[in-house]
Amino acid sequence: MSKKVTIALAGNPNCGKTTIFNNLTGSRQKVGNWPGVTVEKKEGMLRHKDYDVKVVDLPGTYSLTPFSIEEITARDFILNESPDIVVAIIDASNLERSLFLAIQILELGRPAIFVLNMADVAEAKGIKIDEKKLSLLLGLPVVFTIGNKNKGIDKLVDAAVGEIHRFDEGKESRDIRYSNEIEACISKVETEISQSKVNIESVLRWTAIKILEDDKIVKAKFQELSSSASTKVFQTAKACRKRIVDLFEDDFEIVLTDDRYGVIAGIVKETVSNSAIKRIDMSRNIDLVLTDKFFGIPVFVFFIWAMFQLTFSLGAYPMEWLGMAVSLLSESLDKILTPSMFKDLLLDGVVAGIGSVVIFLPNILILFFCIALFEDTGYMARAAFLMDRVMHTSGLHGKSFIPMLMGFGCNVPAIMATRTLESEKDRILTILMTPFMSCSARLPVYIVLAGSFFAEKAGTIIFSLYFTGIVVAIVSGRVLKAVLFKGEEAPFIMELPPYRMPMLKSLLIHMWERSKMFLKKMGGVILIGSIIIWALSSFPKTISYSVDYDEAITALTSNYSQQMMLAGDPETAELNRQFILKVKEIKNKKEQERVSKSYIGRIGKALEPFFEPIGIGWQASVALVTGFVAKEVVVSTMGVLYGVGSDEGDALEKALKNSGMTALSALSMMVFVLLYVPCFATIVMIYKETSAKWAGFNLIYTTMVAWVMSFLVYKMGILFGFG
Amino acid sequence: MTDTHEQEKKQFKRLFQQQGVEQFNLTFQVLEAFLKLEKHVTIKDILAQLKADDVKLDEGFVLNGMELLCRFGFANKIEFDDKETQYEHRHIGLHHDHMVCTKCGSILEFKDEAIEKLQHKVADAYGFHMLQHKMEIYGICSNCMAHRDERVQLHKAKKGEKLIIKAVDAGKNMQMRMSSMGLKIGDLIEIVSSGFGGQVVIAAGENRLVLGKGMAEKITVQLFDQGKALDSHEDTPPREISLPPLLLSQLKTGQEGIIRKVSGESILRRRLLEMGINRGSTIYVEKYAPLKDPIELVIKGYHISLRVEEAANILVENVKYRKR
């Protein structure tokens, strides 16, 4: 009989937790989100002797205070899901700070073991840790590991399983003792709680400490259990807190934090011996260049440029192949299947829809490989260090820079790249601002419109559009920060971890797991979305055309065939050419009418009053509505609606000029394209990465901003006589 | 001195006749009595002098008179800690400072050109325009010092004394508690107050700490001789008093300091503490980002970055350049 146990891995960011997790579980892992929050949750399985071990990787944190979602998530998991054991992973080369978290984990009262990782780095630094003494002092097993060399991993599992066993036999975790004043407070509150006879689920001492620390979550939970008892307990806690403030002139939690460091200093003193080995600090030397006053930013720009090139230029080849594969598939399906509605659905809906997403896969793979490389080497923190000043002006974090920049390529991977941001508020803000970065799909629209109406000034106009996008993003950032995220600025305290050689295995796991999530999530929603859009544009099937086009074509055919029969050889070719052109014209007209009378066309027409004040006619309105699917579609829809084939750039230019569109309305339309919802896939991504609320907000917000800006451009233009 | 006194009297006559002071002659008597007395005098001293001169004036009149003299710059009112108000001669253009013994209460006058100059220098450094100053040094006079032990137990130390912790005669528990309060042997402390049931309130750095009698008894302290510590280099003081603490954001690349205080909003403060930025730790400024904003710092052996505005919440002392 195999026994099932759950191990939770906890530790600071950059302590090598992920490496240990990968070593433990190999490729058998599941990446998802923690319920309700967008913190990545990783799970994996392994077999050890008689045990089926489930390993859960908790978010990397420095503490267990209830200030960030990561910390709450980690704490809640340990308390509510009760893993059989918590493995606190400690960076042996950075013992003091790592112990701060480890001791808080110990205080939760769950079975725990301490793992001293990166033992080799510590040794090279001249740090010797007496693990037996540490184990004795804290009353739990202590294991050394070297994560990236896969050393000590078996011992880790052994120790974990052994400790679970000991707890089954009645072992209890050891308490950490603080100074007398603090202890007096703790025991007072403890007594009060136990007298109240409320059945708290967590450890008494821990609950007492948390109530004393004025922990809102624990207090709320306790109040729920018994509001009468809580009043009394909270009063005692308040009196104790006041006493501490009187004595130390500082809040209880601050005094306790100081005290914890006092305890840790004691432990370190007992167990660590330092031999002064002077060693070249590689990280420092690398940073002499990478974060240098002069070289830092150029080098960073180069790295970003390289990433951009790799993602969008190198990625363009496999993207093309995939595109070809998709069209090959649709062509062969076209041949095999007999014409039916199902065929249309399959070809124009499913294959086209899924195809339009699948082609992003190479970009996503490369992008995530680059990001994983930045993260695993430690460069990501430096990038944030370099760019924070810039991003801070719009209320963002330094790490927001990379996603924002990726937005110029494609908003979908850019939004996924925001996962590197630890604070959810920063992440949401970055996600909301990214769509203002003009993605590559918007460029064809600018090229057609600016090319048609601004001729040699087109370059300047397109550049100004990109620039406008950036300005709108910055202003939006500031406004949203001031309105929606008021007073919740997370402090920018970021560790700059030592540079480390990345491990290919972990890079690949990183890349693949995130890409897989992209495919899985996008697949479902995009499929449904594509079908809806397809249905809107191809129904109703029975359209009463104003002219009988088929009749016209038949008439034309008979007319020309008669003429051709009568004509001589040289004229036949000329007549044939005329014939083909005329048929095409009629067919275009038919398609034009069909699209305008389809549901999507009706929506476009219905929206005409909405677009009228910004100088956009009904054809362009329909194009903008279809542009919701993807911006590339805007140009092809305009092609259809202005009665030319989508592949004829020159003809479209003429048609646009003849349609009465002015330079000003073209500019207004470009501004609108720049600022409104980039595409359906982006909205889905926002929904997946945040919530329906934020996706809806983004939809409305971007459209509103787009309309207001276009309106301003258009009306100002008229005012200054450019109409 | 008599010359100056004669001059003062002349000026007094001119000034007060111009102003048309009531009872001019009687006020003049007060001045005469006051000028006869050197050093610092109380109203009682003046009354005694007047009595000796056979002038009969009541206390209220003398008090008013002295107020008047102060207003016109003939006398200086000095109010030392918990003592009767005293007056001293004020000779325009001449200035001196005071040393007050907290034990016997004697007052010494002194003047030091270097200090006078230094005050201007300090004021200038802060962009402060100095108008006047008043300096009172409290301490123990040489006479009292001669009859005093070098080392005492903390609970016997006097208010205001600066002391160095020399020994702690206690178990491990208490030593741990002391270190958790941030106290260790060699630290400089100041007695804020003492005597309420043996309880001693001390200042260590920016913090006030309360020690019970039991704890104070076990701590042996030695009087911190500032003069000696500043002069001799062998026994360097534990904290350099001469340098004012700086904000971390004021430090330059390559400087390090010892964290003295972490302030700011509760969350930020706690975050900083959790990341190991706590009192007593040494923090080193590795570099500023190219755009001058985040600062890269080294603390407890690892690198961390903070925004300048956040670093402004951290007060550091003993700032100096570190060689790498």
The whole-angstrom separation of Cα A295 and Cα B291 is: 12
User: How confident is the model at residue A280, as a pLDDT?
Assistant: 63
Residues 6 or more apart in contact with residue B273 via CB below 8 angstroms: A254, A257, A258, A261, B262
User: How confident is the model at residue A39, as a pLDDT?
Assistant: 62
The DSSP symbol for B72 reads: T
User: How confident is the model at residue A701, as a pLDDT?
Assistant: 93
The whole-angstrom separation of Cα A592 and Cα A281 is: 69
User: How confident is the model at residue B240, as a pLDDT?
Assistant: 40
Residues of A in contact with B307 (CB under 8 A): 388, 392, 491-492
**B270 in contact with chain A, both atoms CB, cutoff 8 A:** yes
Confidence of residue B7 (pLDDT cuts 50, 70, 90): confident
Confidence of residue B236 (pLDDT cuts 50, 70, 90): very low
Output the CATH code of domain A3-168: 3.40.50.300
Decide if pLDDT at A163 tops 50: yes
**Element holding A180 (H helix, E strand):** helix A180-196
- What is the average per-residue pLDDT within A577-603? 78
Tokens of B270: 């706690």
Instruction: Compute the nearest-CA separation of A200 from chain B (Å).
Output: 27
**B323 in contact with chain A, both atoms CB, cutoff 8 A:** no
**B71 in contact with chain A, both atoms CB, cutoff 8 A:** no
Higher pLDDT, residue A530 or A63: A63
- Render pLDDT for A164-212 as a digit per residue (tens, 0 to 9): 888 888 777 788 888 888 898 898 888 888 888 777 777 888 888 888 8
Output the CATH code of domain B246-321: 2.30.30.90
- Report the range of poorest mean pLDDT among A215-229, A537-551, B107-121: A537-551
Could you check whether A3-168 and A180-274 share the same CATH topology? Answer: no
- Render pLDDT for B117-128 as a digit per residue (tens, 0 to 9): 888 878 877 778
The whole-angstrom separation of Cα B12 and Cα A209 is: 72
User: How confident is the model at residue A493, as a pLDDT?
Assistant: 80
Q: Which residue of A has its CA nearest to B299?
A: A97
* Nearest Cα to Cα of residue A514 among A31, A38, A33: A31
**B301 in contact with chain A, both atoms CB, cutoff 8 A:** yes
Decide if pLDDT at B233 tops 50: no
User: How confident is the model at residue B234, as a pLDDT?
Assistant: 43
Instruction: Compute the nearest-CA separation of A652 from chain B (Å).
Output: 47
What are the boundaries of each domain within chain B? 2-89, 97-139, 154-227, 246-321
Could you check whether B154-227 and B246-321 share the same CATH topology? Answer: yes
- Render pLDDT for A610-668 as a digit per residue (tens, 0 to 9): 888 888 887 788 788 878 877 767 777 777 666 655 445 566 777 777 777 788 888 99
The CATH class of the B97-139 domain is: alpha beta
- What is the average per-residue pLDDT within A318-323? 84
User: How confident is the model at residue A356, as a pLDDT?
Assistant: 66
- For residue A540, is the peptide bond before it cis, meaning its omega torsion is within 30 degrees of 0? yes
Radius of gyration (Cα) for chain A, nearest Å? 32
User: How confident is the model at residue A38, as a pLDDT?
Assistant: 54
Contact B305 A251 (CB under 8 A): no
* Nearest Cα to Cα of residue A19 among A121, A142, A108: A121
Cβ contacts of A23-32, under 8 Å, gap ≥ 24: A23/A147, A23/A150, A23/A153, A24/A55, A24/A153, A24/A156, A24/A157, A25/A55, A27/A509, A29/A509, A29/A513, A31/A513, A31/A514, A31/A516, A31/A517, A32/A517
The whole-angstrom separation of Cα B293 and Cα A317 is: 40
Confidence of residue A244 (pLDDT cuts 50, 70, 90): confident
User: How confident is the model at residue A706, as a pLDDT?
Assistant: 93
**B308 in contact with chain A, both atoms CB, cutoff 8 A:** no
User: How confident is the model at residue B4, as a pLDDT?
Assistant: 65
Instruction: Compute the nearest-CA separation of A125 from chain B (Å).
Output: 10
Instruction: Compute the nearest-CA separation of A270 from chain B (Å).
Output: 13
Instruction: Compute the nearest-CA separation of A525 from chain B (Å).
Output: 40
Higher pLDDT, residue A163 or A422: A163
User: How confident is the model at residue A649, as a pLDDT?
Assistant: 52
- Report the range of poorest mean pLDDT among A19-33, A79-93, A422-436, A570-584: A19-33
Residue with tokens 């480890």: A102
- Render pLDDT for A433-452 as a digit per residue (tens, 0 to 9): 999 988 777 877 887 788 88
User: How confident is the model at residue B231, as a pLDDT?
Assistant: 47
User: How confident is the model at residue A700, as a pLDDT?
Assistant: 92
Which of A259, A292, A388 has the CB atom closest to B294's CB atom? A388
* High-pLDDT (> 90) share of chain A, %: 6
The whole-angstrom separation of Cα A626 and Cα A537 is: 9
* High-pLDDT (> 70) share of chain A, %: 91
* Nearest Cα to Cα of residue B284 among B302, B264, B272: B302
A132: alpha, beta or left? (left if phi > 0; alpha if psi -120 to 50): alpha
- What is the average per-residue pLDDT within A553-572? 77
**B97 in contact with chain A, both atoms CB, cutoff 8 A:** no
Which of B177, B274, B292 has the CB atom closest to A63's CB atom? B274
- Render pLDDT for B139-170 as a digit per residue (tens, 0 to 9): 778 777 777 666 777 777 777 778 888 777 77
- Report the range of poorest mean pLDDT among A424-428, B64-68, B91-95: B91-95
**B252 in contact with chain A, both atoms CB, cutoff 8 A:** no
Q: Which residue of B has its CA nearest to A299?
A: B290
Confidence of residue B226 (pLDDT cuts 50, 70, 90): low
Q: Are A592 and A605 in contact (CB under 8 A)?
A: no
| A32: Cα separation from own chain's centroid | 12
User: How confident is the model at residue B75, as a pLDDT?
Assistant: 79
Contact A62 B275 (CB under 8 A): yes
Residue B137's Cβ-side half-sphere holds a number of Cα atoms within 13 Å equal to: 14
Contact B290 A292 (CB under 8 A): yes
- B2-89 carries CATH number 1.10.10.10: yes
What are the boundaries of each domain within chain A? 3-168, 180-274
Higher pLDDT, residue B290 or A505: B290
Contact A100 B267 (CB under 8 A): no
Confidence of residue B202 (pLDDT cuts 50, 70, 90): confident
Contact A262 B179 (CB under 8 A): yes
Q: ipTM score here?
A: 0.73
- What is the average per-residue pLDDT within A278-301? 82
Contact B310 A385 (CB under 8 A): no
Buried b (16+ CB within 10 A) or exposed e, A307-345: bbeebbeebeeebeebeeebeeebeeeeeeeeeeeeeeb
Higher pLDDT, residue A324 or B228: A324
The whole-angstrom separation of Cα B7 and Cα B1 is: 10
Residues of B in contact with A97 (CB under 8 A): 275-276, 300, 302
Residues of B in contact with A390 (CB under 8 A): 291
Instruction: Compute the nearest-CA separation of B173 from chain A (Å).
Output: 8
User: B154-227: what fold?
Assistant: SH3 type barrels. (2.30.30)
Residues of B in contact with A293 (CB under 8 A): 287-288, 290
The whole-angstrom separation of Cα A262 and Cα B120 is: 43
Higher pLDDT, residue A521 or A172: A172
Decide if pLDDT at B243 tops 60: no
User: How confident is the model at residue A32, as a pLDDT?
Assistant: 60
Mutation pick from B200, B277, B303 vs chain A, by most beta carbons of A within 10 Å, is: B303
- What is the average per-residue pLDDT within A563-584? 77
- Report the range of poorest mean pLDDT among A415-424, A602-611, B234-243: B234-243
Q: Which residue of A has its CA nearest to B204?
A: A248
- A180-274 carries CATH number 1.10.150.120: no
Q: Are A617 and A659 in contact (CB under 8 A)?
A: yes
Higher pLDDT, residue A87 or A283: A87
Tokens of A498: 């030592």
The whole-angstrom separation of Cα A312 and Cα A317 is: 9
Residues of B in contact with A292 (CB under 8 A): 290
- Render pLDDT for A107-161 as a digit per residue (tens, 0 to 9): 888 889 999 988 888 888 788 888 888 888 888 889 888 877 888 888 888 888 8
Contact B294 A251 (CB under 8 A): no
- What is the average per-residue pLDDT within A61-76? 79
- Render pLDDT for A30-51 as a digit per residue (tens, 0 to 9): 666 555 555 667 888 888 878 8
Instruction: Look at strands B255-262 and B314-321 and give their pairing.
Output: antiparallel
